[in-house]
A and B are shown apart, each in its own frame.
Chain A
Amino acid sequence: MPTDTKRVRGPEVSQSPSLFLCKTAAKKSTASNDARVDGRQRGQVDVRSVFVRCGLISQAKGSAYIEAGNTKLICCVYGPRETERKDETDMKSGRLITDMRFAPFSCRERGSWIQGSDEKDLSLMLLESLRPGVCLQKYPRSQIEVNVMVLENDGAVLAHAVTCASMALADAGIEMYDLVLGCSIRQEGATYLIDPTFLEENGCNLASGSRENLGSLTVAFLPSLNQISGLQSDGEMGEDTLTGGVRTCIEGCFKLYPVIQQALSKAVRRKAPPSES
Chain B
Amino acid sequence: MSPMKLCVPGDRLCSTDDCMPGTGVYLRHGYIYSSLAGYVLRKNEGEELPVISVVRETEAQLLPDVGAIVTCKVTSINPRFAKVHILYVGSTPLKDRFRGTIRKEDVRATEKDRVETYKSFRPGDIVLAKVISLGDVQSNYLLTTAENELGVVVAHSEAGAQMVPISWCEMQCPRTHAKEFRKVARVQPEYLQA
Q: Determine the residue in chain A with the shortest Cβ distance to B56.
A: A173
Verify if A194 is at the interface (C-beta below 8 Å from B).
no
Cβ-based interface call for B124 (8 A)? no
Q: State which residues 1-53 of B face A: CB under 8 Å.
A: 1, 3-4, 6-12, 24, 26, 28, 33, 35-39
What's the minimum C-beta distance from B62 to chain A, rounded to whole angstroms?
10
Measured in the bound complex, the distance between the Cα atoms of B37 and A268 in whole Å is 7
List A contacts of B35 (CB < 8 A). Answer: 135, 175-177
Inter-chain CA distance A209–B180, complex, in Å, is: 89
Contact B37 A267 (CB under 8 A): yes
| Residues B81-137 near A (CB distance < 8 A) | 95-99, 134-137
A170-B9, A177-B9, A268-B39 are contacts. A82–B97 as well, Cβ < 8 Å? Answer: yes
B134 A224 Cβ-Cβ under 8 A: no
A2 to chain B, nearest CB (A): 58
Is A140 touching B37 in the complex (CB atoms < 8 A)? no
Interface residues on A, range: 35 or more
Contact of B39 among A81, A88, A174, A274 (CB under 8 A): A274
CB of A173, distance to nearest CB on chain B (Å): 5
Distance (whole angstroms) from the CB of B37 to the closest CB of chain A: 4
Q: Could you list which residues of chain B lie within 8 angstroms of chain A, going by C-beta atoms?
A: 1, 3-4, 6-12, 24, 26, 28, 33, 35-39, 56-58, 60-61, 63, 95-99, 134-138, 141
29 A-B Cβ contacts within 8 A?
A61-B61, A81-B98, A135-B26, A135-B35, A139-B63, A140-B63, A141-B63, A170-B8, A170-B36, A172-B61, A173-B36, A173-B60, A173-B61, A174-B61, A176-B10, A176-B35, A178-B33, A179-B9, A224-B10, A264-B37, A268-B57, A269-B6, A271-B56, A271-B58, A272-B56, A272-B57, A274-B4, A274-B39, A277-B1
Counting from the closest, the 3 A-B pairs by CB-CB distance are A272-B57, A178-B10, A224-B10
What residues of chain A have their CB less than 8 Å away from a CB belonging to chain B? 61, 79-82, 86-88, 90-91, 133, 135, 139-142, 170-179, 222-225, 260-261, 264-265, 267-269, 271-272, 274, 277
